[in-house]
Amino acid sequence: MIVFDLACTCGFTFEGWFQDRQDFEKQQSTSFIECPECGSHEVRKILSPIRYQSPGSDMYSQPQQHCTDTVSREDAEKALETLQKFVAENFEDVGADLAKESLKIHYGISEPRNIRGVTTDSEEKKLREEGINLIKIPMPTSNKGVN
């Protein structure tokens, strides 16, 4: 799934969930997107970083407007594949140094960037105590991915 921040001409902003960018463009061009506040179709996308959500993750708050369609297993698998590809291409693999690097970035010692890797349970607990939340997704190569 892909999340876009959307804004209506009435000033209301909300999150829209789409399968992918094409799905968003299709829905926008057919005026399928409706402002939950005033019902207008004059909705545009706010330029913002795209956030991905791993299936089953409850780390993000629920969208204000969510789709009533049930997500099929196939769609969920496709979304996971997209996520895995995104992480593999955009996140630097620091392997077992993930906890160390996360802390360095947290305290401004290292350049802020997207990193991925593996942690032990105790490292993860320590990070959480520091206010760093890890997003865990299953990766196709079990020994190299995010745990």
Binding residues for Zn ion, per CB under 5 A? Answer: 8, 10, 12, 35, 37-38, 40
Whole-angstrom distance, CA of residue 93 vs CA of residue 140: 14
Least distance (Å) between residue 13 CB and Zn ion: 9
Least distance (Å) between residue 144 CB and Zn ion: 45
Q: What is the DSSP letter of 119?
A: -
* C-beta closer to Zn ion: residue 35 or 115: 35
* C-beta closer to Zn ion: residue 65 or 110: 65
* C-beta closer to Zn ion: residue 19 or 40: 40
**Cβ atoms of 15 and 64 closer than 8 Å:** yes
Least distance (Å) between residue 14 CB and Zn ion: 9
Say which residue the tokens 């032990």 belong to.
120
Least distance (Å) between residue 51 CB and Zn ion: 22
* C-beta closer to Zn ion: residue 7 or 135: 7
SS3 state of residue 122: helix
Partnered with residue 5 across adjacent β-strands are 15
**Helices marked H in 9-120:** 21-29, 73-90, 98-106
Q: What is the DSSP letter of 58?
A: -
